[in-house]
Structure 1
């Protein structure tokens, strides 16, 4: 019998409402929080959906702010906070992916507003107390209890029309959360079980969704995986993978999910030399050495595999490597500027990792 080592389990944060058609419970969840007016948040592209949700909320709606954008620029947040205060709202309902969730978090930590999050992708950030904000081309990430949403409403029906490309990259983004939770220095058995289950859910769901994007069971499985991945990362520290994604996204404006998808096989392969046993659930779910398996899995799904396809130059890689070691995150395998530069080159060319 394997002995259980001492650990600290921080608990699982937001209340979760999961199912089909659950967006219809948004008003009840606002009432459950004791709030009276909600500002509905979205990106410009999801304005129509936000307007429809606002109409459903009726007298509980304080209007719509459809200005959320990638990497949560501070200047956008400042405008949104002004709109929030002018609207008379006492909470926000964030409808969309990670960009909208990030804006809701940024408003909440500045105003004390409660958050109800309705994810429409597999970002998973709705389950964390992590906020990454961009100012002057630099993305700074922090954790704080005021950032964590109060309620998350997972409505599988809202993901049925998620485009295949976004489905794949968003799912790989979620797997990145699970992978880092598996080898985090503050990992624990509960979060490790959740992270492993998340990877298994995506390993089964994503190939089905590439072939049939409207498969309801696969959509439910993927959204379940996203919840588990987000909750796993919410209780554990981020490492090299997230550091590199935040560096490239914040300073080079690369698309968030695509950046995660491309870098994931390489960061996992890099760490597999020191954390191979901890990554075994991922290797088992995908079949093979974890970095190699992720690279092949991504390619089989049609995911992007080369950083150069995001418009990055080799000179950009030099700068990114310097930035990544300036404020490093804890990581199971030590790294320096040269090792990060080599990893980025491998990802830029789209090579298959060695492990």
Structure 2
């Protein structure tokens, strides 16, 4: 087969080491010659953020973090950063926290150091997202790519097992969607396959030993790979669905991704044999659906959108908003009927196999 593709690799410094977040942050602030630092962390993560940033003397600590980054919340943080002459943003937390830092950077150009405490992966992408009037808008801009990511598995110990599972499966969705997203290429595929392997090893280890670092390190490594693949490949069918479910219906981000993933995989896999083979091999199975479902069973993964407040009565509206956003490059044709079937099955938690021969 002749190789013919274009791949973009994003420039970013990554520092990885359990128990080294404070040390790495202090060194990076010095390297970047930053004098006025704004630390962004939710109330839940504030104690962790205080501990990590104790060596750098921030001039502003910001804890108004809201899921899906409402534009009003973003504007308040932007105003605060401008009023305090901030020259470096430090985000400590999950995707919502990183997303808020990106919203500030998008408007101001202030660089970001991201310190994730989940497996969201937003820290490794140049993708931003904000919600306005129940609609989530996303975009790509180099200003929002953190200049440095500091990974410290010890910080994820604050994440309960159920949220670790949901967050890790969100990262898994980045991997799988990257294999058929609009800019999918062989490099993205290699990163995604290794990400699937790492996550499928790390997440069960977290389930078995929540206080152990080995599984959490493996999951963080997988989450990073998944995000790098996703940043290059772009958003596929899975992410278009989940962005609408989150932005329009305010469903929780990680749990929504974890729930929808097996349904999109079951729908697309028959039309994407090469991607399916890669996914299956990464799971160590013959069939990709079998591999994912086996992992989900071990983890006790989220199973139905109705468990998070989405109902069958909202499917019609969701279909109308999602359908125009499905990439033309999706391996299987998506129409109103098939998209309705995918969402209906995900809503009630039906066996994803019903979508294979749809």
Of 288-297 and 67-76, the range deviating more from structure 2: 288-297
TM-score normalized with structure 1 length: 0.95
Name which of structure 1's ranges 324-333 and 166-175 shifts more when overlaid on structure 2.
Answer: 324-333
- Give the 3-state SS of the residue equivalent to 1:67 in structure 2: coil
SS of the residue corresponding to residue 82 of structure 1 reads helix
The equivalent of 2:305 in structure 1 is 307
Q: Please show how residues 39-50 of structure 1 align to structure 2 within 5 Å.
A: 39-50=38-49
The C-alpha deviation readout for 1:85-106, integer Å capped at 9, x for no partner, is 2222111000000000000111
TM-score (norm 2): 0.94
Q: Which residue, 93, 101, 112 being the options, matches 1:96? A: 93
Separation of aligned partners in 2, 1:87 and 1:229: 35
Find the aligned partners of 2:54 and 2:212 in 1 and give their Cα distance: 29
Alignment of 1:146 onto 2:128: no
Give the corresponding residue for 2:55: 56
Asked whether the 8 Å contact 1:39–1:65 carries over to 2, the reply is yes
The answer for the alignment partner of 1:328 in structure 2 is 326
- Contact 2:126–2:140 under 8 Å retained in 1: yes
Paired with 1:163 and 1:139, the residues of 2 have a C-alpha distance of 27
State how far apart, in whole Å, the 1-side matches of 2:104 and 2:322 are.
27
Give the distance between the partners of 1:229 and 1:13, measured in 2 at CA.
Answer: 16
Please state how far the C-alpha of 1:283 moved relative to its aligned partner: 1.4
Q: Give the Å deviation of 1:292.
A: 4.1
Q: Which residue of 1 aligns with 2:242?
A: 245
The CA deviation at 1:4 is 4.7
Root-mean-square deviation over aligned CA pairs: 1.5
1:114 match:
111
Choose which of 257, 261, 264 in structure 2 pairs with 1:264: 261
Aligned to 2:200: 203
Higher mean C-alpha displacement, 129-138 vs 187-196: 187-196
Q: Deviations over 1:319-338 (max 9, x none)?
A: 10111013333422221121
How many residue pairs get aligned? The number is 351
1:277-332 CA-partner distances (Å, limit 9, x unpaired)? 21322212332432343234223211110111111111111110111013333422
Q: Distance in 2 between matches of 1:195 and 1:126?
A: 16
Residue by residue, what CA displacement relative to the aligned partner does 1:229-277 show, whole Å, maximum 9, x if unpaired?
0111011121110011000000000000000000000011111121132
Q: Could you tell me which residue of structure 1 aligns to residue 295 of structure 2?
A: 297
Q: Classify the secondary structure of the residue corresponding to 1:55.
A: coil
CA distance in 1, matches of 2:70, 2:2: 43
C-alpha distance 324-103 of structure 1, shift in aligned 2 (>3 A): same
Give matches, 1:18-97, under 5 Å: 18-23=16-21, 24-58=23-57, 61-97=58-94
What SS does the aligned partner of 1:272 have? Answer: helix
Per the alignment, residue 230 of structure 1 pairs with 227
CA distance in 1, matches of 2:133, 2:174: 26
CA contact (8 A) 1:292 1:353 kept: no
Q: Is the 8 A contact 2:15 2:151 kept in 1?
A: yes
Q: Which runs of 5+ in 2 are unaligned?
A: none
Deviates most, 233-242 or 321-330: 321-330
Equivalent residue for 2:178? 181
After the TM superposition, list the runs of 4 or more consecutive aligned residues in structure 1 that deviate by more than 6 angstroms.
Answer: none
The whole-number CA distance in structure 2 between the counterparts of 1:39 and 1:63 is: 5
Give yes or no for contact 1:186–1:236 (8 Å, CA) kept in 2. yes
